[in-house]
Structure 1
């Protein structure tokens, strides 16, 4: 058998081949490194674009102490407030729109902390007939602003006061502390007379037996404060309208024509200022 032909090895070709191999390895390595850098840079940019939490003061994420206290109080209390959930919701809807505002409440009770909290950052003032009860509430909730008031009239005088309220001295517009009307409350703190109230709640005085202080004067005074404001409207609420005095006096002096809603034992009236029109009737005409 004839042997295969032997070709001589060319040294120059081997050297060129080695150089080409090293060149290809260098190019591939550079391309791979550049690709990794781009990926790393892209990932780094993505992390930079992620929105970091905004730095704030140590107190900006905390709820106000008064709100915290209200939450703890009502979540642990076994005492039922004077008003039902549906009744409370009527006033709350108005507070949602108007607060922070000026809110005057006749009465200091188990729901007072709630009203003050719902009007957060507003002015909420409570008027109470029982000094001992005021002191008791102040010890538990010192942030509530309350004043002691005295009511001269009793429930059994309601009919006499209803007749007196029909006189011209009771229907003329003016400050109640200077009024000649027998129904006007004249001994309230100066702050009460000098403040323009956006909401007024009548849930006191006692009013549930003949010899108890009645709500006749509170209802009348709330209505006159609303009429005497410079401009705008006042939302007035009367609780316990299932009782004779609250029913008759709210219709007569807050006016059925101004009534917006009744929910359970609560009535809501919206009374406009009468200062801009001296000829405006005490109650709106009903057709």
Structure 2
């Protein structure tokens, strides 16, 4: 065969042939071995609740990845992400936020995820938010229990909880007058212990157990007078942000073209904390008030 190496008993060949065979063996060894990763993934400190949820997501996303000693990490696309891609590729319903509005939150998630992300509202964009916070904990609070049941049947991995609101949009002006300058509404602390009438105390216990890195207020319903409105959600988001142990919380309020979302976000999330506004989405960055005693409610 032409490809076969010929080694005659020439003294020169006696030395060259073994060296050539040794070279081929070393090349074969290097091509089949796996070199260590140059940049190992950074570790992220997660809360106990987030760590448990993250581990469950990790187990689910890697259930189809058989161990392979030649592969340092699973290269399959996680099931949660593939499910998201399929859903949006085959759905005729698109999220209510525009691409420019979504990009504001996506930019922050790109920097902070995996993290703790609280979303007021369970909608057609929920799979997207959970996927963008892959590896973190994304929790949804929803007013419509029947809608939660429908979503859980289709997407059981989304973490969502029912919330009951006792306010109406038609009460918003009265509520703003009664709370905007009230001392009890400027006290920073646990929402469950707050004396402010806007503090939400009937949410699932899981909501109060976590320090949220991002909070999106895109619910409850607020487009007609008998709807619950987002007064309490906006106030409680600001209270949670100020009450965290340290650091800052990014809070996003959608539909700020409406009176309630505009006035209550400016009053309780503060214009001085506005980072940017794109379309109907307003982005606030609120620092912890527990790390600096005497910090004013609004800068």
Q: How does 1:25-104 map to 2 (within 5 A)?
A: 29-32=10-13, 34-52=15-33, 55-56=69-70, 60-104=74-118
For 2:41, the equivalent position in structure 1 comes to: none
CA contact (8 A) 2:33 2:70 kept: no
Q: Of 149, 159, 166, which residue of structure 1 is paired with 2:163?
A: 149
TM-score by length of 1: 0.83
Q: Secondary structure at the match of 1:50?
A: helix
CA contact (8 A) 2:220 2:229 kept: yes
The 10-residue stretch of structure 1 (128-137 or 272-281) with the greater mean CA deviation from structure 2: 272-281
1:76 and 1:248 map into 2 onto residues whose CA distance is 38
How far did 1:64 drift? 2.0
For 1:110, the equivalent position in structure 2 comes to: 124
In structure 2, relative to structure 1, the CA distance for the partners of 1:58 and 1:52 (3 Å cut) is: closer
For 2:223, the equivalent position in structure 1 comes to: 208
How far did 1:246 drift? 0.8
Q: Of 259, 265, 269, which residue of structure 2 is paired with 1:244?
A: 259
Q: Secondary structure at the match of 2:161?
A: strand
Q: Secondary structure at the match of 2:252?
A: strand
TM-score by length of 2: 0.80
How far did 1:38 drift? 3.9
Count of equivalent residues: 258
For 2:209, the equivalent position in structure 1 comes to: 194
2:109 equivalent to 1:128: no
How far did 1:71 drift? 1.7
In structure 2, relative to structure 1, the CA distance for the partners of 1:243 and 1:58 (3 Å cut) is: same
The 10-residue stretch of structure 1 (62-71 or 148-157) with the greater mean CA deviation from structure 2: 62-71
2:115 and 2:9 map into 1 onto residues whose CA distance is 74
CA contact (8 A) 2:276 2:283 kept: yes
CA contact (8 A) 2:34 2:70 kept: no
The 10-residue stretch of structure 1 (135-144 or 38-47) with the greater mean CA deviation from structure 2: 38-47
Extract unaligned runs of 5+ from structure 1.
1-26
For 2:50, the equivalent position in structure 1 comes to: none
2:119 and 2:128 map into 1 onto residues whose CA distance is 12
1:45 and 1:53 map into 2 onto residues whose CA distance is 14
Q: Secondary structure at the match of 2:97?
A: coil
2:226 and 2:174 map into 1 onto residues whose CA distance is 15
Q: Of 272, 277, 281, which residue of structure 2 is paired with 1:266?
A: 281
Q: Secondary structure at the match of 2:166?
A: coil
2:193 equivalent to 1:175: no
